[in-house]
């Protein structure tokens, strides 16, 4: 007898965001918001450089960049692949990030803060990693008001488990 995914529906997703570049943060936000919109319980844990997405101190959450070095999928608007060496040219990262943000704005993709608002308004929960907070000398008041709490990894895993739960690492 073959089990289908519909036999074991996902009821809860817990997403871990450890990278602070534009593309990884938005993948986390889009998947989290999608889960909330589908009626799933969603918990999001930001750790290491992913903390930039929820850090209002220094306006980090609005200054995310696209990785230009080591990103083999990066392409020019005409579809040509951007060679890795080209990403090292001064200003390339800022230009690429600006182009991405303009494209996202044209498509009416929400800002990071708007996504956090949508996720929490829909019942999703946003958490920060205690270890990363300590490493980067951040305090809870340095974070977005949408952050419910600061947790250890063990505390996050404890609340992330259960029947029908999935943990996703971006």
31 three-state secondary structure: helix
Q: pTM for this structure?
A: 0.87
- CATH architecture of the domain 11-169 equals 3-Layer(aba) Sandwich (3.40)
| pLDDT on residue 4 | 52
Label residue 146 exposed, middle or buried (CB < 10 Å: 0-12, 13-18, 19+).
buried
Residue spans per domain, the chain: 11-169
Confidence of residue 165 (pLDDT cuts 50, 70, 90): confident
Residues 6-60 have pLDDT tens digits of 666 778 899 999 999 999 999 999 999 999 999 999 999 999 999 999 999 988 9
On whether the CB atoms of residues 167 and 160 are closer than 8 A, the answer is: yes
């Amino acid at each position: 007898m073959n089990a289908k995914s519909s036999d074991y529906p996902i009821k809860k997703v817990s997403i871990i965001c450890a990278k602070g570049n534009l593309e990884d943060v938005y993948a986390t936000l889009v998947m989290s918001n999608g889960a909330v919109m589908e009626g799933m319980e969603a918990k999001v844990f930001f750790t290491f450089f992913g903390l930039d997405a929820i850090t209002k101190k220094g306006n980090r959450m609005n200054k995310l960049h696209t990785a230009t070095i080591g990103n083999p999928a990066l392409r020019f608007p005409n579809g040509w692949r951007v060679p890795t060496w080209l990403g090292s040219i001064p200003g390339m990262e800022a230009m690429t990030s600006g182009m991405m943000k303009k494209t996202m704005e044209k498509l009416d993709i929400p800002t990071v803060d708007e996504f956090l608002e949508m996720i929490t308004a829909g019942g999703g929960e946003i958490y920060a990693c205690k270890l990363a907070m300590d490493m980067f000398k951040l305090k809870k008041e340095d974070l977005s008001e949408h952050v419910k709490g600061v947790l250890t990894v063990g505390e996050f895993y404890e609340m992330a488990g259960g029947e029908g739960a999935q943990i996703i690492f971006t």
